[in-house]
Amino acid sequence: MNNFVLKNLILKITRFKDLLFNIDNVLRLKTILLADKIYTLTQDNKTLYREFIYAILAKNLSSKQRLIIIIGNLTFINKIIPITFINKLQKKELWLWISDESTNTSKIRLDFASHGMEGFFRLYYLYNEETIFTIGFTIAPGDIFGVLNKDVIFISNMQLIKNRKHQYQCAINNNSKTTPQRNLFYSLFGIAEKFKINHIVCVDAESQISNDKGLLSFQATYNDFMSTFNGVHYNNYFHLPLPYIEKDSNIVSSTHRRRNKIKRIFNNKIKNSACLSINKFF
């Protein structure tokens, strides 16, 4: 048995044991799993059902907090999201943005995560039909993270796909020098705008569940990246109020002002495209 399989087996055994001490929330979870939309969803995709139970999301969350997040996410889906939207997700056809380039095409797709350990939803950035970067997130109750917002977007995973650095750089060069990771974030802003969610919470490098060895790459992907948005860091999470306010162009040096304006226009185009793409289902 390799280390990855063993690690996941231990996590699932531990998770099952923890569930026994949270029976009230387990019963709440059972109730929402039987709701019409959620029941249909899990019957069509048995893997999703298992992932609801074994979701980890972040190192420093208690079992009770994880259950409350899962229940909140499923309640949001059941109350807010139309069945036509869910069907589109299941077919992997919900494109939030497609670049104008006739060659070297970039795309952003919203989907259910293939596994729920690090989030229930996933954004995929594709360059010439190859996935090069993903962001995993869940709709969670704000009070879990000490904020007053009813719902927040909780990001638990951001990942550059292995052996895709060349494609990542090509995507930057072909899209106004903006990074796929930042493009995905702006599509998240569009999702948040549509669903009237005005707060993002993101794990830091230390609380990300895959960062066993304190790798510097996680520092760059999470902490350094969130700092570019002036995310406020406390209690192992970065907090970003929405709508995101861009840096005042007057405080940017004249040398970079034009370049920053082009990037800003490009990223806001992605945000608006994401919002409009989702709005079609409402």
Indicate the DSSP class of residue 146: T
If pLDDT is split at 50, 70 and 90, which confidence band does 1 have? very low
| pLDDT per position as a tens digit, 127-185 | 999 999 999 999 999 999 999 999 999 999 999 999 999 999 999 999 999 999 999 99
pLDDT of residue 252: 59
- B/e letters for 64-80, b = 16+ CB within 10 Å, e = fewer, are ebbbbbbbbbbbbbbee
Tell me if 157 sits within 8 A of 119, measured CB to CB.
yes
pTM: 0.88
Query: Structural domain boundaries of the chain?
Result: 3-279
- Whether pLDDT at 51 is above 80: no
Query: Can you tell me whether residue 78 is helix, strand or coil?
Result: helix
> Cα dist. 92→100, 233, 281 in Å?
21, 34, 15
Which residues on neighbouring strands pair with residue 234, listed in sequence order? 237
3-state secondary structure at position 213: coil
Q: Is the peptide bond preceding residue 243 cis, with omega within 30 degrees of 0?
A: yes
Task: Please give the order of strands across the beta sheet that includes 106-112.
Answer: 94-98, 106-112, 121-127, 130-141, 151-160, 199-203, 237-241, 232-234
